[in-house]
């Protein structure tokens, strides 16, 4: 036997102290690990409760299968739709639950390339041999080695989808009808302004012709009386007296001016009707070279008359300026721009409308329409050509006039822009091609 050796007291105490310190460290680590495990368990439990709440709240079915196609997890929606309880659904093969002529779930589980389904129509087998049409989405469930472990399937009854699509289509159709009504209202409003302008333009020459014809009718009765008396054998002295009484000499002097004035009024009416016909047929006729200045004059005459003396009109127009396009459509654009400017100046004691044609480019011609109204709010400058955008009070504008004009200009390969003047008012600039097949640089 070996002899017994005893450590000194101090060495024994130090060894015990080291052991106790190590035990304290291990215990502290155990407590720390225990706290972390409890926190993770609490977080896991919260996540599980959240997922369970989500699954209970889902109206769509959700289920997970294993690699053999057996149902392992599912939400309450599947129980409600299928008419089966949890015990009946567990370990049920999805091929027995979903009926489809073009989907084989076994092949999907064996071939990774076929595990993706999107909006696929299948039939859900219900008790009593009934079925329910579903739309399914399917994605693969992989393990940590990227092998297919099962399928995740989400679906909803097609009846709900069809009802949603039907409601969406009905809302879309209602929106289209409303839009058509607004477009029609805008057309009727434009037509009303056009009729008012044309009526005012026609009123002057027709009134002139009407007055001249009344005078000619009165003169014709005097001339007939004089001729009848002349044929009755009156003496020269009696005829001279009758001529003075009927003012035959004055009638003879007035005849040419009356006829000339009547012809001039009729020609003015004919010109207005031709302009109106050109405007109305502009939509159907082909594009052509036309006098933009004449079209602009017509647009001004038909829109600016109701302002009367309150409007100070400044025309910076050449005698002629050629443009290429639909004369009627361009006249509609010009009338919209001018009417928009007049509306912006409504209520002003002295409205000033300035219309300028810039004819210094062989490919393009420019029309500038400026007013002294309040201008367009900065926030609306980028939206002024959008459909239904308007700064007018409710009931006084549909917000389609400038949008329609912008579309017409785009179809003509032109440009329509707007900006505010520093001194106040808005400026619309219309750029149109002078020839066919001109591109904007």
**Rounded average pLDDT over 31-59:** 81
pLDDT for the residue 292: 92
β-strand pairing of 351-358 with 311-316: parallel
Q: What confidence category does residue 184 fall into, taking pLDDT thresholds of 50, 70 and 90?
A: low
Q: Report residue 209 CA to chain centroid gap.
A: 48
What percent of the chain shows pLDDT beyond 90?
9
pLDDT for the residue 196: 63
**Rounded average pLDDT over 294-298:** 87
pLDDT for the residue 190: 61
pLDDT for the residue 254: 76
pLDDT for the residue 275: 62
Condensed to tens digits (0 to 9), the pLDDT of residues 351-407 reads 899 999 998 888 999 999 999 988 888 877 888 887 766 666 544 555 667 888 888
Specify the higher pLDDT residue, 114 or 140.
Answer: 140
The full set of domain ranges for the chain reads 285-441
pLDDT for the residue 431: 94
Residue with token string 């995740």: 152
Condensed to tens digits (0 to 9), the pLDDT of residues 71-107 reads 998 988 888 888 888 888 888 888 888 888 767 777 7
Kindly tell me if the per-residue pLDDT of 172 is higher than 70: yes
Kindly tell me if the per-residue pLDDT of 346 is higher than 70: yes
Kindly tell me if the per-residue pLDDT of 173 is higher than 50: yes
pLDDT for the residue 1: 45
Say which range, 45-59, 109-123, 187-201, has the weakest mean pLDDT: 187-201
Kindly tell me if the per-residue pLDDT of 284 is higher than 60: no
Kindly tell me if the per-residue pLDDT of 429 is higher than 90: yes
**Rounded average pLDDT over 279-294:** 72
- Cα separations in angstroms, 402 against 125, 269, 336, 397, 408: 58, 30, 7, 11, 10
Q: Which two tokens stand for residue 132?
A: 């329910």
Question: Which of 2-11, 235-244, 344-353 is modeled with the greatest confidence?
Answer: 344-353
**Rounded average pLDDT over 165-193:** 74
Condensed to tens digits (0 to 9), the pLDDT of residues 199-258 reads 656 766 777 677 778 877 877 787 777 777 777 777 777 777 877 777 878 878 777 777
Kindly tell me if the per-residue pLDDT of 335 is higher than 70: yes
CA angle 99/102/108 to nearest 5° reads 85
- Cα separations in angstroms, 175 against 168, 171, 172, 263, 348: 10, 6, 5, 52, 37
pLDDT for the residue 356: 93
Q: Which of 57, 136, 72 is nearest to 103 (CA)?
A: 136
**What CATH number has the domain spanning 285-441?**
3.30.565.10
**Rounded average pLDDT over 14-19:** 78
pTM: 0.47
What percent of the chain shows pLDDT beyond 70?
82
Q: Which two tokens stand for residue 325?
A: 């396009």
Mean pLDDT (the chain, rounded)? 79
**Rounded average pLDDT over 9-29:** 76
pLDDT for the residue 248: 77
Q: What confidence category does residue 180 fall into, taking pLDDT thresholds of 50, 70 and 90?
A: confident
DSSP label at 3? P
d(CA 233, CA 242): 13
Residue 358: left if φ>0, alpha if ψ -120 to 50, beta else—which one? beta
Contact yes or no for 133/121 (Cβ under 8 A): yes
Specify the higher pLDDT residue, 182 or 33.
Answer: 33
Contact yes or no for 322/290 (Cβ under 8 A): yes
Residue 351: strand, helix, or coil: strand
Q: What confidence category does residue 168 fall into, taking pLDDT thresholds of 50, 70 and 90?
A: confident
Residue 144: left if φ>0, alpha if ψ -120 to 50, beta else—which one? alpha
**Rounded average pLDDT over 333-343:** 87
pLDDT for the residue 370: 93
Q: What confidence category does residue 113 fall into, taking pLDDT thresholds of 50, 70 and 90?
A: low
């Amino acid at each position: 036997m070996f002899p017994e050796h005893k450590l000194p007291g101090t060495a024994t105490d130090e060894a015990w102290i080291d052991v106790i310190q190590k035990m304290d460290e291990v215990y502290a680590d155990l407590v720390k690990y225990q706290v972390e495990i409890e926190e993770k368990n609490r977080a896991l439990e919260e996540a599980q409760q959240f997922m369970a709440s989500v699954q209970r709240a889902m109206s769509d079915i959700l289920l997970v299968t294993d690699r053999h196609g057996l149902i392992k997890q599912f939400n309450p929606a599947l129980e409600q739709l299928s008419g089966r309880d949890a015990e009946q659904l567990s370990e049920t093969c999805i091929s027995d639950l979903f009926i489809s002529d073009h989907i084989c779930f076994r092949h999907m589980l064996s071939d990774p390339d076929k595990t993706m389904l999107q909006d696929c129509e299948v039939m859900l087998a219900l008790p009593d041999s009934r079925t329910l049409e579903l739309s399914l989405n399917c994605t693969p469930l992989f393990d940590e080695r990227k092998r297919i472990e099962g399928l995740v399937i989400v679906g909803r009854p097609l009846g709900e989808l069809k009802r949603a699509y039907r409601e969406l289509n009905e809302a879309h159709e209602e929106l289209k009808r409303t839009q058509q009504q607004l477009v029609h209202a805008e057309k009727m409003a434009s037509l009303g302004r056009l009729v008012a302008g044309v009526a005012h333009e026609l009123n002057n020459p027709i009134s002139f012709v009407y007055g001249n014809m009344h005078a000619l009718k009165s003169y014709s009765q005097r001339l007939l009386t004089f001729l009848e008396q002349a044929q009755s054998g009156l003496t020269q002295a009696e005829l001279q007296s009758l001529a003075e009484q009927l003012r035959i000499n004055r009638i003879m002097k007035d005849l040419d001016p009356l006829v000339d004035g009547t012809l001039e009024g009729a020609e003015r009416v004919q010109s207005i009707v031709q302009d109106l016909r050109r405007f109305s047929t502009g939509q159907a006729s082909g594009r052509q070279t036309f006098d933009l200045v004449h079209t602009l004059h017509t647009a001004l005459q038909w829109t600016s008359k109701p302002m009367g003396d309150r409007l100070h009109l400044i025309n910076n127009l050449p005698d002629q300026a050629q443009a290429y396009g639909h004369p009627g459509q361009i006249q509609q654009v010009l009338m919209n721009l001018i009417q928009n400017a007049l509306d912006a100046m409504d209520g002003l004691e002295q409205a000033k409308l300035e219309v300028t044609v810039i004819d210094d480019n062989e490919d393009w011609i420019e029309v500038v329409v400026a007013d002294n109204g309040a201008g367009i709010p900065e926030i609306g400058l980028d939206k002024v050509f959008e459909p239904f955008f308007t700064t007018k009070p409710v009931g006084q504008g549909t917000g389609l006039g400038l949008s329609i004009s912008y579309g017409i200009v785009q179809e003509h390969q032109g440009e329509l822009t707007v900006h505010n003047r520093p001194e106040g008012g808005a400026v619309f600039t219309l750029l149109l091609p002078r020839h066919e097949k001109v591109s904007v640089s």
